Each structure stands twice: as C-alpha cells, then as structure tokens.
Amino acid sequence: MNDGIKIGHLSLTSSNAGLRKTSSQEKSAAPLSFKEVLDRNVLKFSSHAQQRMEQRGISFKPETLTKIVDAIDQAATKGAKDSLVVYRDIAMIVNIPSRTVVTALEGSALKGNVFTQIDSAVIVS
C-alpha cells in the first residue's frame, strides 16, 4: 500500500477520496479525505472492531466506506438502533445512533453464526 493510509487498525488504499459531503460542502469542489470523515464522526470503529478487523485482515477502500455510510444513513432514517450491515463477505454490527462499528466478521466466520440484539439488517451492494 504505497499510497494508502492507516488510521488505528483500518487500512485504506487512497487518502484523498471523497466519502461524504454535507450541504455546505457540496458547493466546494474538494472531496473529503477519510481522516476528515472520521473527524466529523461520520463513522467510528470501536477498539474491539479495530482489533477484529486487524486479526481478520479486513480493510476497506474509500468508495466501500461511502457505501457503508450510506447504508447506515438508510438504517437511521428507518429508526434502526443496532444493525447488521453486510458488504460482500463482511458483516458488521453497527450502533446506528453513535455511528460506531462494534464488531466485524468475514468469510468463514459468518457461517453458522446467529446475530442477536439487532433490530435491522442492511445488505450493501
């Protein structure tokens, strides 16, 4: 990852991709960096989630994070509190009000699992 950044234990492949723009930012041409998105509390990862992601080799490209943030926004509009967010073979439990990924699983760890204490599920395409 010669052009990537690492924040906590989350590795990305590009440090300058736009993730989310607020209405005041839509007028400016410069996209937000991943660090700016995190600084604005758009998406957080608990220390447990960071640990699990590192152990399981899970990392996201900025455009993937955009899709995940959009899925969290959709869940929030429906009144969700704790959601299972699934992207390809990665599943995350996300606390919607705090916009925090609580834990993450991938691949074979998903098989045979029962997800409890969630009130919604969002499949990200």
Closest by CA to 90, choosing from 110, 73, 62, 71, is 110
Q: What are phi and psi of 102, to 5 degrees?
A: -85, -40
Q: How high is the mean pLDDT of the chain?
A: 77
114, exposed or middle or buried, with CB in 10 Å at 0-12, 13-18, 19+? exposed
The pLDDT tens digits of the residues spanning 74-108 come to 999 999 999 999 999 999 999 999 999 999 999 88
What's the Cα-to-Cα distance from 120 to each of 41, 54, 93, rounded to whole Å? 22, 26, 10
Global pTM value: 0.68
**Residue 34 · residue 19 · CB < 8 Å:** yes
Q: Percentage of residues in the chain with pLDDT exceeding 70? A: 67
Lowest mean pLDDT among 27-31, 78-82, 90-94, 111-115: 27-31
